[in-house]
């Protein structure tokens, strides 16, 4: 297999995307930033750096990830990037009816919002987090001790789901494992519905996805109950 040209692929060229790109560049690593806007912040602030700006949306980002197989994928765009990549790769759509099935497995007190097939969850659902927080076990914003990391809690709640951990590489810098992203994309090539989630220690999102063309043998309800 040909070696990857990029160590990291950053999806989104805004403030957070620039911060993630600089994290890589400061460590001598190669990166690509994918954004549909040629005038995005990354285009200007990273112009003199060894960073490639790739113009496009999720479909283009999917192509870069599949071609380059980077070590890290940085989801900085304002959407559930992992679920969007699966949708683009395997012609899936959010399962609107799956929202209720997901909600019934979420512990009280961490649900932020529910709708359009997705749940947003957080250990700090009603407050503001500190900038560049290191996510210690005791939340510095609330003073509450988190019993387990949120990605672990979601894996317990949905054993048959794909819950990707957002790895904290530095305070305020989170990334998905590139091999984990590739694995969920390959799994999505099967016909059954699936549940895809992304979570760090404190915050997360879970999305129910159904195939556009029927033919799978399971429903979201059956996957949730596994």
Domains of the chain: 1-78 (3.40.50.20), 91-166+180-226 (no CATH)
Residue 142: the pLDDT is 81
pLDDT band at 100 (very low <50, low <70, confident <90, very high): confident
CB atoms within 10 A of CB 189: 9
CA distance 102 to 113: 12
pLDDT band at 75 (very low <50, low <70, confident <90, very high): very high
Cα–Cα distances in angstroms (integers) from residue 84 to residues 75, 127, 188, in the given order? 11, 27, 12
pTM of the model: 0.89
Residue 99: the pLDDT is 85
Longest dimension (CA), the chain: 52
Question: Do residues 137 and 146 make contact, with C-beta atoms less than 8 angstroms apart?
Answer: yes
**Beta carbons within 8 Å of 29's beta carbon, 6+ residues apart:** 7, 8
Residue 140: the pLDDT is 78
Specify the range with the lowest mean pLDDT, choosing from 22-36, 93-107, 135-149. 135-149
Q: What percent of the chain has pLDDT above 90?
A: 65
**Beta carbons within 8 Å of 181's beta carbon, 6+ residues apart:** 65, 73, 82, 85, 164
Is residue 226 pLDDT above 70, yes or no? Answer: no
pLDDT band at 4 (very low <50, low <70, confident <90, very high): low
Mean pLDDT value of segment 57-62: 97
Residue with tokens 């949306």: 57
Mean pLDDT value of segment 119-132: 84
Is residue 207 pLDDT above 90, yes or no? Answer: yes
């Amino acid at each position: 297999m040909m070696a990857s040209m990029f160590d990291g692929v950053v999806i989104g060229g805004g403030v957070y995307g620039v911060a993630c790109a600089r994290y890589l560049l400061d460590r001598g690593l190669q990166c690509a930033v994918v954004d549909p806007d040629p005038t995005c912040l990354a285009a200007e602030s990273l112009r003199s750096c060894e960073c490639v700006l790739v113009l496009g949306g999720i479909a283009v980002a999917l192509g870069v990830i599949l071609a380059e197989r980077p070590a890290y994928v940085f989801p900085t765009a304002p959407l559930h990037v992992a679920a969007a990549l699966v949708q683009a790769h395997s012609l899936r759509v959010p399962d609107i009816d799956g929202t209720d099935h997901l909600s019934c497995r979420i512990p009280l007190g961490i649900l932020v919002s529910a709708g359009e097939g997705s749940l947003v969850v957080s250990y700090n659902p009603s407050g503001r987090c500190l900038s560049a927080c290191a996510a210690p076990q005791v939340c510095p914003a609330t003073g509450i001790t988190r019993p387990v990391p949120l990605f672990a809690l979601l894996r317990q709640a949905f054993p048959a789901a794909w819950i990707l951990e957002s790895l904290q590489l530095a305070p305020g810098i989170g990334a998905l494992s590139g091999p984990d992203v590739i694995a969920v994309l390959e799994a999505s090539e099967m016909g059954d519905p699936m549940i895809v989630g992304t979570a760090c220690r404190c915050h997360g999102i879970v999305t129910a996805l159904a195939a556009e063309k029927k033919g799978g043998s399971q429903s979201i309800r059956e996957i949730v109950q596994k």
